[in-house]
C-alpha cells in the first residue's frame, strides 16, 4: 500500500478562539507548518454558518505557501497580512531557491508568475524572482503560477513541468467549499477520517485501519477537523447535514487527554503525526 495523497479539512470558524489579528496569523502559521511537515496536498476550508473566516484563512495560507520572491507580485499590501511577514517561513523545496540566474542551471524546479504572452513568437514571459525574466514556449494565462525547469540547450529559456508529480513536496493547495456536505459527498477518497472525542480510541482502531488500507494499492486520505467550540459531529448536527457515517472512520486520536480541550493547531499536528507513523 502506498500513501498517494493526504488532505485535511478545517472549518471556517477555526479562528473563533483568537482575539487579535496577530493571534489569528500565528495560529494559521502553525497549521501551515504542520501541513508542510507532513506533506499535505490540499487544505479544504468548509464553511459553517456560525462564522465564516474562509477568505482570510485562504489568503494567509496561500501567502505562506507562495515562494517569497513572488509574494509582492501576488499579494498587495493589506491589513489582513499585517503580521504575515513576521511568521516563520515554511522552507519547503519550492522556497529554497537561489535568486541568481547563473546558479539556476540544473533541473531543479522553480515556480514563476506568467507576466505576458507574445503571439508572434508563441512564448510567455515568466517572473521567476531572478535577476531577469525568463521565456517559456507556449501560451499560458497571465497571472498563473507555473512550475518550470531551465532548458539545457537554450539560455534563459524554460520548460513547463507538471506540478502534479514533483520529485519533492511542492506545497499545499487551498480550496474553499460551501459546507461539510461537499466533503460528505466526495467519493475521491479511499479513507475519510472524522476526528472526534466521541469516536473510537485510536489504539483500538489501528488494526482495523491497517486491514482496511492494505486492500488498497494507493491511498488518498482525508482528515476532517472541527472548530474550538464545535466538533465535527456538532457542526453536522447544528447545520442539519445528512451524512452517511458508513463513509467515515470516527476516531478519537487523543484518548485520556490531560487538558480540557485540545486546540485546533495542536489537534492537527498530533493527528498528522499519528497518521504519518501509521501509513508511511
Q: Would you say 5 and 43 are in contact if contact means Cβ atoms under 8 Å apart?
A: no
pTM: 0.90
Q: pLDDT > 90: what percent of the chain?
A: 56
Q: Tens digits of per-residue pLDDT, 184-219?
A: 998 889 899 999 998 888 888 776 776 666 666 678
Do 87 and 181 lie in one domain? The reply is: yes
Position 164 pLDDT exceeds 70: no
Q: Which residues pair with 6 in a beta bridge?
A: 221
C-alpha cell at 75: 499579494
Do 189 and 136 lie in one domain? The reply is: no
Range of the domain at 107: 101-160
Q: How many structural domains compose the chain?
A: 2
The pLDDT of residue 204 is 80
With respect to residue 237, please indicate whether it lies within any of the assigned structural domains.
yes
With respect to residue 166, please indicate whether it lies within any of the assigned structural domains.
no
Closest CA to 195 of 210, 187, 182, 205: 205
Do 128 and 36 lie in one domain? The reply is: no
Q: Tens digits of per-residue pLDDT, 70-84?
A: 999 999 999 999 999
Do 121 and 209 lie in one domain? The reply is: no
Tell me how far the alpha carbon of residue 255 is from its chain's centroid: 27
Do 140 and 194 lie in one domain? The reply is: no
Do 175 and 152 lie in one domain? The reply is: no
Do 156 and 178 lie in one domain? The reply is: no
- Kind of pairing, strands 110-118 and 123-127? antiparallel
Count of beta carbons in the 10 Å neighbourhood of residue 142: 12
With respect to residue 165, please indicate whether it lies within any of the assigned structural domains.
no
Position 268 pLDDT exceeds 90: yes
Domain holding 113: CATH number?
2.40.50.140
Do 249 and 115 lie in one domain? The reply is: no
Q: What is the mean pLDDT of the chain?
A: 88
Do 74 and 195 lie in one domain? The reply is: yes
- For range 245-266, the mean pLDDT: 90
Of 160, 194, 209, at which residue does a domain stop?
160
Domain holding 261: CATH number?
3.40.1280.10
Which letter does DSSP use for residue 89 in this model? P
Q: How many Å is the Cα radius of gyration of the chain?
A: 21
Closest CA to 144 of 123, 172, 115: 115
- Does residue 49 or residue 204 have the better pLDDT? 49
pLDDT band at 159 (very low <50, low <70, confident <90, very high): confident
Position 270 pLDDT exceeds 90: yes
Position 257 pLDDT exceeds 50: yes
With respect to residue 50, please indicate whether it lies within any of the assigned structural domains.
yes
> In whole angstroms, what is the distance from residue 128 CA to residue 159 CA?
12
Range in 45-49, 222-226, 259-263, 270-274 the model is least confident about:
259-263
Do 11 and 57 lie in one domain? The reply is: yes
- Could you tell me the CA-to-CA distances from 59 to 54, 63, 76 in Å, in that order? 8, 6, 11
The pLDDT of residue 103 is 57
Do 71 and 189 lie in one domain? The reply is: yes
Q: Would you say 204 and 172 are in contact if contact means Cβ atoms under 8 Å apart?
A: no
Do 106 and 88 lie in one domain? The reply is: no
Amino acid at each position: 500500500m502506498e500513501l498517494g495523497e493526504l488532505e485535511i479539512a478545517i472549518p471556517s470558524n477555526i479562528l473563533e478562539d483568537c482575539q487579535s489579528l496577530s493571534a489569528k496569523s500565528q495560529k494559521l502559521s502553525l497549521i501551515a507548518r504542520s501541513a508542510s511537515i507532513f506533506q499535505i496536498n490540499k487544505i479544504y476550508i468548509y464553511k459553517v454558518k456560525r462564522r465564516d473566516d474562509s477568505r482570510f484563512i485562504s489568503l494567509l495560507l496561500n501567502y505562506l505557501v507562495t515562494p517569497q520572491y513572488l509574494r509582492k507580485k501576488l499579494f498587495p499590501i493589506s491589513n489582513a497580512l499585517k503580521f504575515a511577514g513576521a511568521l516563520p517561513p515554511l522552507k519547503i523545496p519550492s522556497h529554497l531557491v537561489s535568486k541568481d540566474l547563473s546558479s539556476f542551471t540544473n533541473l531543479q524546479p522553480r515556480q514563476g508568475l506568467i507576466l505576458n504572452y507574445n503571439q508572434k513568437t508563441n512564448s510567455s514571459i515568466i517572473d521567476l524572482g531572478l535577476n531577469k525574466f525568463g521565456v517559456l514556449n507556449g501560451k499560458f494565462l497571465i497571472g498563473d503560477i507555473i512550475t518550470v525547469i531551465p532548458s539545457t540547450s537554450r539560455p534563459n529559456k524554460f520548460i513547463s513541468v507538471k506540478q502534479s508529480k514533483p520529485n519533492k513536496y511542492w506545497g499545499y493547495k487551498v480550496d474553499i467549499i460551501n459546507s461539510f456536505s461537499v466533503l460528505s459527498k466526495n467519493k475521491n477518497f479511499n479513507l475519510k477520517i472524522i476526528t472526534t472525542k466521541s469516536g473510537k480510541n485510536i489504539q483500538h482502531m489501528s488494526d482495523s485501519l491497517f486491514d482496511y488500507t492494505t486492500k488498497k494499492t494507493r491511498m488518498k486520505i482525508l482528515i476532517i477537523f472541527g472548530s474550538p467550540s464545535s466538533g465535527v459531529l456538532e457542526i453536522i448536527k447544528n447545520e442539519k447535514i445528512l451524512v452517511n457515517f458508513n463513509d467515515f472512520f470516527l476516531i478519537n486520536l487523543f484518548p485520556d487527554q490531560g487538558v480540557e480541550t485540545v486546540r485546533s493547531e495542536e489537534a492537527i499536528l498530533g493527528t498528522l503525526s499519528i497518521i504519518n507513523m501509521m501509513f508511511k
